[in-house]
Amino acid sequence: MPRPSLSPLSACIAALALMAAAVPAIAADLATAQQDGPAAASPATKNLSVDYALRGGYDTNLFGDTSQLRGAFLEEEAKLRGSVDLEGGELSYGLWHRERQVEHYSFGNEHVTGASLGFKTKLGEKTEFSIEGGISRDATGDVLIAVPGSVIGYRSTDMNYSLASSLSSEFLGGKNMLTASVEDKNRGKAKFTTDLLLPGKVEADVTALDLTASHIRPALSGEIGFTLAYRQTFVPSSEQMTLLRFPASSLRGSIAYGRKLGANVAVIAEAGITGISADQLGSDVKHIRPYLRASLEWQATNRLQLAVGYDRDFAVTDLDDPLGEYIGTLKLAAGLKLTDRLDARLVYELASSDWLYYVYNTRTRRLTGTLTWQFAQNHKLELEYRRVDRNETDPAQNFSGNQYFTRISGTF
């Protein structure tokens, strides 16, 4: 369905999306395009599609750790997605499944099945509400101990639940949005590859709550945005000490500005203050620190595109530390259109992380090179190389890895 033209800041974000994974997105996306018009009066299925992906290759560090276990891998993924027009709104749905097989180490095989259901509707001429829920079952495994001549692994089945909603409206001279989401990760008991260890949990259950309010308006030949974001994690008290995972909360206030400089340069910058709170924070830990997120994209020629991005913020979910991390990430990217159907892309990422519960730091470098051939409409073949180097405060925990793979994907 046709959409209104993008605002200057939205256009910046759209341009940066061409460098996928190269430039960090601004929190709350800064600007959201207007949604489709009112739904049809009678139910009608539309936008029904099937996405597929098949990836296979070789990895010198299959589990991304000091075990340095190597071997071939194969991944298959399929997703059915679509939407139905209802009187007064639109219903969307998705169903997906992913498989991953690992050579030699079957405990690392992965089987993931998930489903989502969403609804959006207009509450007025300039007000829209949306809500979406999801559920997934993740059966996978990892390495527990790897010594010369012996590897002990484990498998567990986790359940993930999510619910997110947003309310957007136009008033006070700009676009306003309230979003709320909750995600619950229910970890299953691990079953080990040796009978010497009884089944038991190796990771704690974690629930994360996110609340964000933002206001975006035209200013200074571009757009300016104001954001207030809160995140809270919850961990069962019975699992906190036994599995070393603790609840924490973070609060951030920031101001963002985005503008296109001429026809070929797009700039987005966001700065503010971010803070973290938790009972287990040591007295020497800085609770309040600067927040920064910035990106620049330059269309150097009609075939060459360059981008740079940097962000720094607290993280309280998906981390290595039991409590939280203060992470800074620099990304550089270059994209080159070799022919009408052949593209090349190179991405370099440098991430530094200060752990908060332990006195510990990590530094991770990633390099990704991709060659993409668009052999048919909505179908592509990719050849990719990835390298990761991880340096930690304890040199014995340093590791690296190289991954080579071919991927074919598309949409029907």
Give me the CATH number covering residue 314.
2.40.160.10
Domain contains 334: yes
* Backbone dihedral angles phi then psi of residue 77, each to the nearest 5 degrees: -145, 140
9, 215 contact by CB (below 8 A): no
For the chain, state the CA radius of gyration: 23
**How many separate domains does the chain show?**
1
Taking residues 264-287, what's their average pLDDT?
Answer: 94
Token pair for 401: 């890895």
Average pLDDT, the chain: 89
d(Cα 394, Cα 374) in Å, to the nearest integer?
A: 44
Helix (H) or strand (E) holding 16: helix 8-17
d(Cα 265, Cα 8) in Å, to the nearest integer?
A: 12
Taking residues 87-102, what's their average pLDDT?
Answer: 94
Nearest CA to 254 out of 272, 230, 269 is that of 272
Domain contains 372: yes
Domain contains 323: yes
pLDDT of residue 40: 38
Helix (H) or strand (E) holding 3: none
Cα 278 to chain centroid distance, Å, stands at 24
Domain contains 166: no
pLDDT over 60 at 18, yes or no = no
d(Cα 79, Cα 96) in Å, to the nearest integer?
A: 4
Looking only at Cα atoms, what is the longest distance across the chain? Answer: 68
331, 368 contact by CB (below 8 A): no
For residue 374, give every residue at least 6 positions away whose Cβ sits within 8 Å of its Cβ, in sequence order, or none.
341, 342, 343, 380
d(Cα 49, Cα 16) in Å, to the nearest integer?
A: 26
Domain contains 383: yes
pLDDT of residue 42: 46
43 pLDDT band (50/70/90 cuts)? Answer: low
Predicted TM-score (pTM) of the model is 0.83
363, 354 contact by CB (below 8 A): no
Tell me which long-range contacts 267-272 makes (C-beta under 8 A, separation of at least 24): 267/12, 267/294, 267/295, 267/296, 268/9, 268/12, 268/13, 268/16, 268/26, 268/30, 268/293, 268/294, 268/295, 268/296, 269/293, 269/294, 269/295, 270/26, 270/27, 270/30, 270/225, 270/227, 270/294, 272/227
Helix-, strand-, coil-residue percentages of the chain, each rounded to 5: 5, 65, 30
Helix (H) or strand (E) holding 222: strand 222-234
Domain contains 362: yes
Domain contains 229: yes
Token pair for 20: 């996928």
pLDDT of residue 147: 87
Token pair for 362: 């990590």
DSSP 131: E
Domain contains 242: yes
pLDDT of residue 44: 55
Helix (H) or strand (E) holding 201: none
pLDDT over 90 at 350, yes or no = yes
> Which domain does 265 fall in, by range?
13-25+42-120+219-411
Strand, helix or coil at 27?
A: helix
5 pLDDT band (50/70/90 cuts)? Answer: very low
